[in-house]
Structure 1
Amino acid sequence: MSILWLALAAFAIGTETFVIAGLLPAIAADLGISVSAAGQLVTAYALTYAVGSPILAVTLNNIDRRTVLSLALSTFIAGNLVAVIASGFPLLLASRMLMALGAGLCMPTALGVSVAVASPERRGRAVALVTSGLTVATVIGVPLGNLIGSVLNWRATFAMVALLGAVALAGLRLGLPRGLPKNTASLGERLAVARHRNVLVALLITILWALGGFTVFTYFAVPLHGLGFNANDVSLALLTFGVAAAIGNMTGGLLADRLGTIATAALGLAGMASALILHSLVLKIMPDHARYAVLGAIFLWGISGWAFYPAQVASIIRIEPQASMIALSLNASAMYLGFALGGALGGAVLTALSPTDLGWVGGAGVSAALLVHLVRGWQGRPKPVKIAG
């Protein structure tokens, strides 16, 4: 039962991470700032998560995991409550950074705890159940949060996330035993894994993939509003993306087993880059008939982009099988660093170009990830044996 509370915590964190994309225009209008400025709420959150997660994990290495989870969720809840009452952009920005500290401490701890409380033959399923909270958030939490924000206001969405976090916290306080193993790696162990050349290349690919996706996703609602999408239409588009992401995540895992991680990741990156570039082309070439075509591009983006992720995770585990949790923690930080860079780049695109240019810029980032991935795969092939004679 405690695994379900961990999954609910992941659901709350996933909802908060991704729902902001649909709320940015309303936040910007309410606070009297530009949408590109509001987008830095995403950059600040992601950058704080990327940097804060490993630092907090090492700092709190010797504290009981139950206590760490309670601290993490309490911090996350407090950040959402501050957002509810934030009267200006600086306080809202600070609230997002507070949420990120809580989320960045909670997720790796939750994965470690899920392994500790599960029996050996169920550990894989336990980890999958916790991470499914993030996937389900894209299907249910994000569209629901966006809908609540449109019917009430954006502050109500933060209140909803705080409530979800509070329920998860109460369940974990009641359901988790004390004295759980402290499996967090030391800073030296993390650095040793990070110095591995193949790990560094894999982290670069993750950064570029995340950068490309969040260049567009951060400002998800902006080009849609230009097509005449109302709040309900944006919620439908977010639901489309979430369903596609869930399908892509499952499909990517299956294909990685059958085709291999290199081929599956390459297909995912190629499809995602094509979908993002198509997103821009549709908006520029056929704006009067783009509604369904844009939804199609969003669906292809969700499937292909999230088909890449399980293949990438599997390949990273194979690089460092004895230190897989460390490598995956580094990959999570790389992903959020990419989210931060993507949010900043998307804001620059809106300032210098237009919303219709977000797709091709994001697609260029994913194409760069594909290029690095293909070079890595080619260099990793067995060298042909020369036969004398």
Structure 2
Amino acid sequence: MSDISITAGQADDRADAVPAGLGRTAVLALGTFAVGTDAFVLAGFLPDVAASLHVSTGGAGQAVTVFAAAYALASPLVATMTARVPRRALLVAALVLLAVANAGSALAPNLPFLLVTRVLAAVAAAAYTPTAGAVSVALVRPELRARALAVVVGGLTVATALGVPLGDAIGAVMGWRAALWLVAALCLVTAVAAGALMPSLPGGMPVPLRARLAALRHPGVAAVLPLTALGMTAAYTVYAYAVPAFAGVGVSGSGTTWMLGFYGLGAVAGNLASGIAADHLGPVRVLAVGYTLMAASMTGFALLAATGLRAPVAVGVASAVWGAASWCQTPPQQHRLIEAAPAQAPLLVALNSSAIYLGIGAGTVIGGLAVPAGAGTMFTIAAVLALTALAWLATTSRTPTSAR
């Protein structure tokens, strides 16, 4: 679920860079891997965070909520305020701030302190990820630009497949604070590499915030964009509380790590397949399948929780389907938005990213409120939200300005 947007000026302004191969984009991908891991790693050990800070699991989930909300709100503001900053300096500064924020989270003595550090981390992530995408296409020959962007986006998807389960495993052995220290260390290593290997690229012309938000008035955009937030709300109602949720279907301890791994593998597969399928079948059909599968997987989880049946294989399959359904949304939604207003494509991709994180934040709030009611209730709410997204899709797909 990338929030990478690229303007023509950024892609073509290659002042001191020599167009080359994909080698240096690996450094940028390492940074997006750190960002992706940081965004969701706390979900793997929220009960431990809650116990350490003497709050409820739902209270600890606010750490995920505030990160998502801060990212969504900061993304357009940071892009506007940092437009003229040289790209290498911005990359390094963002990674250093992300390292400091994670170190602060690792040292947090209480929940308010943790929430402040998560907001700082979100601001740093909002500065880094779009910049990494723009720089990646400025580093390579024109025929390699799409692949360069894919490498950077790959850092986020690999973080989902590997970073979060690994963080959960490390947290189980060494504690949640150790996992955050490792993320901080990875950010510093990447900052050093970026400072040493990235060329000096100038900033671009700022796009006024008013111009960024003006795209929301387009009828097609107004019909499509809310679905991004709604779909992500459905996808993340349970994710931040994966530990108690999986416990409710008979999976705990190291089993949770495995299930998060299956979720991540499904996420990577769903993200890749949906882009290809959207070109051949149309984005609306892909989204319809995605929301149907999401509702089905959540319903399956709810039935397992209600009956007390222990079926780890079924949980693993449902986890992979859940991940695929969650991460298949972004390519077709971007397709619909860009078709609705092609001239505003870069701004729409950025606004879609804000909607993604608003949905993640909303889902985490809803999940936190549902935690005391048990896993079955959490999964049922997520299923209802997925069906609501499907209904919204059925309605807005009739809008002439949206892609079918």
Greater per-residue helix proportion: 1
Unaligned runs of 5+ in 2: 1-22
Task: Say if 1:15 and 1:138, in contact at 8 Å, map to a contact too.
Answer: yes
Distance in 2 (alpha carbons) for counterparts of 1:39 and 1:370: 27
Residue pair 1:266, 1:308 contacting (<8 A) in 2 also: no
Q: For 1:1-389, what aligned pairs fall within 5 Å after superposition?
A: 1-182=23-204, 185-285=207-307, 287-351=308-372, 353-380=373-400
Write the distance in 1 (CA, Å) between the matches of 2:391 and 2:131: 33
Q: Note the C-alpha offset of 1:57.
A: 1.2
Q: Which amino acid aligns with 2:387?
A: S
CA distance in 1, matches of 2:98, 2:338: 29
Q: Is the 8 A contact 2:237 2:365 kept in 1?
A: yes
- Paired with 2:150 and 2:233, the residues of 1 have a C-alpha distance of 25
| Distance across 2 between alignment mates of 1:139 and 1:56 | 28
Q: C-alpha distance in 2, partners of 1:354/1:171? A: 45
Q: Secondary structure at the match of 1:126?
A: helix
One-letter identity of the residue aligned with 1:50: A
CA distance 1:379–1:315, change in 2 (3 Å): closer
1:109 is paired with a residue whose SS is: helix
SS at match of 1:280: helix
Identity of aligned residues (%): 34
1:304, 1:210 → 2: CA distance? 10
Letter in 2 for 1:359: F
**CA–CA separation in structure 2 for the residues paired with 1:184 and 1:135:** 29
* CA positional deviation for 1:343: 0.8
Distance (Å, rounded) in 2 between the aligned partners of 1:22 and 1:336: 18
- Residues 262-282 of structure 1: CA deviation (Å, up to 9, x unaligned): 111111111112211221122
Query: Given the two structures, how large is their TM-score scaled by the length of structure 1?
Result: 0.93
Which runs of 4 or more aligned residues in structure 1 lie more than 6 Å from their structure 2 counterparts after TM superposition?
none
Q: Structure 1 residues 40, 381: closer, same or farther in 2, change over 3 A?
A: closer
Amino acid aligned to 2:349 = L
Say which is worse superposed, 268-277 or 211-220, in terms of deviation.
268-277
Using the TM superposition, give the Cα deviation of residue 249 of structure 1 relative to its aligned residue in structure 2, in angstroms.
1.1
- Taking the aligned partners of 1:79 and 1:381, their CA distance within structure 2 comes to 42
Q: Is the 8 A contact 1:116 1:181 kept in 2?
A: no
**Alignment CA distance shift 1:305-1:179 (3 Å):** closer
Residue identity matched to 1:35: T
Task: Compute the displacement of 1:6 (Å).
Answer: 1.0
Deviation string 1:61-99 (CA, Å, 9 cap, x unpaired) is: 221122221221111111100011111111111111111
Root mean square deviation, CA, Å: 1.7
Deviation at residue 378 of structure 1 after TM alignment: 2.3
Q: How far off its partner does 1:245 sit? A: 0.7
Q: In structure 1, how many angstroms separate the alpha carbons of the residues matched to 2:397 and 2:134?
A: 30
Once the two structures are TM-superposed, the CA of residue 309 in structure 1 deviates from its matched residue by: 2.3
| 3-state SS of paired residue (1:185) | coil
Provide the TM-score with structure 2 as the length reference.
0.90
CA contact (8 A) 1:147 1:231 kept: no
**Runs of 5+ unmatched residues, structure 1:** 383-389
The one-letter code sitting in structure 1 at the alignment partner of 2:367 is: G
Q: Secondary structure at the match of 1:7?
A: helix
Deviation at 1:181, TM superposition (A): 4.3
Q: Supply the distance in 1 between the matched residues of 2:214 and 2:58 (Cα, whole angstroms).
A: 38
Deviation at 1:227, TM superposition (A): 4.4
